[in-house]
Structure 1
Amino acid sequence: MPSKARRTSNRSPTHSSGPSTAYTKKKRKKSLSSSLHLPDSGPLDTSKLPRHVAVIMDGNGRWARKRLMNRIRGHEKGAEAVRTIVRTSRELGIPVLTLYAFSTENWQRPQTEVAALMRLLERFLYSEKDELMENQIRLNAIGCTEQLPDFVRSALSEVMQATSWNTSMTLNLALSYGGRDEIVRMVRSVAEKVASGELSLDDITPQQVSEHLYTAPFPDPDLLIRTSGEMRISNFLLWQIAYAEIFITDTLWPDFGKEEFIRILKGFQQRERRFGKVL
């Protein structure tokens, strides 16, 4: 079973003073909720599931360090958690799952760790190919994938091509991904189209921006989950998570499992999603 999460609200950023300060703090406390306080009883309403779940998978290194293991062993254990969450998402009928697998900043890690991660990614892609096909899951990648080693890009291309016609669910792997980099690429692309006359300044709308992002074919995430208790979004889907419900759990990623995932989904269903409106 996944480890129990502690309350993490003491890490929340302070809010500006004013008449609504107490209310704002209360709402923030609820928004960045620990899984310990989520419902664990009652049925999950499968008609009210998020269309798109995004996950910041954090804590592999700490999981290994706590057990006096090599960090790579933590990443290997984390890959097992990926299988569990992908299977659970498919079983429940969640259409899109996006996992933050490797960031643009992760290239700054020790080269031995980066090399081991790339080999682990290659093995994972090949080992999961049959299950993705069997369960009609389409694999997609977002990010600067041209920066990945040739052997990883080859594996990625093979599995993406093999699963391209699968329709039950899409699994997005964010690889060599950075939210700011994605926005810069979007701005350049839009600017080029304006310069060429393909677009006018009046054509630049939020919808137009979204259509120039890696995630253009998909709905924005309804739910963002971060493991390991860190209160930050780490340059992940900066534009897309504008209205996402956020759940942060202290559970380290290798310990994150089906039971806690379902509790978070139940918590999501209890939220009032206002999108800036008054209900």
Structure 2
Amino acid sequence: MKGKWLALLCLLPFTLFYLAFQIAPLIWIVVNSFWSDSMEAWGLGNYQDILTSPFYQQAITSSLKISILSSLYGLIIALIGGYSLHQIGNGKLQRIIMSFTNMTSNFAGVPLAFAFIILLGLNGCITLLLRKYGLLGDFRLYSIDGMILVYTWFQIPLGLLLLFPAFDGLKKDWEEASALLGASRIRYWLHIGLPVLSPALIGTFVILLANALGAYATIYALTSGNFNVVPVRIAALVSGDISLDPNMGSALAMLLVVLMSAITVIQQWIQRRSYLNAR
């Protein structure tokens, strides 16, 4: 009993920290999102303005497009990379790659933006090389396609770290047995491999989506806040000099919370119905 109380006492600083920096700000955001500065009244005015404004609709659409596509691309590349790493076995090469992946998973924000500006900016070294040989086309780093490329880059290491342990659930005997029964590798993956990995794939996709929806530093450093996505709009509303309206920013933040909560609920429902959790 004494050890239990000691453990609870040790958790007290963490609990206070969590309440101060997670629960209290969330309550503040929820309450203030219903106060409209323009109407000077409580209600759904902020949400109505957001959902009827083409400017905010564009921010939401751009955020969803960048987040969904970068998460999907990152998941596919991480799936291929995780399988390849699993196939080479527990050797020195695997440890080196996983260490490098762990390091690059933290390579985001301003350093990542600076790296892409040097490589693919208007006068980046790769941009000049591709332009010289006429291979650049209409690609611009500061367009939505460029943002998807940047986001995909920092999604890949995180996706690989999350997916790689799931491949331990694939038994080599299953692949050998399916081959003996005449199944091709494609049929093996469609009927065995992907169903077994589906909970990990869905969970990883949701985490990558949340990671992309909340990303701020990278896109702000690349575009100086001139790209219309939800995190940039929230920052402008909370700390901007011209469009200062923290209550509207709170409403935008709550829309993100509701969106991610809905996605998480759907993910949990799909996982319960997945092959791995079927009774």
TM tier, smaller: under 0.3
Name the one with the larger helix percent. 2
TM-score, normalization by structure 1: 0.24
Name the one with the larger strand percent. 1
Larger Rg: 2
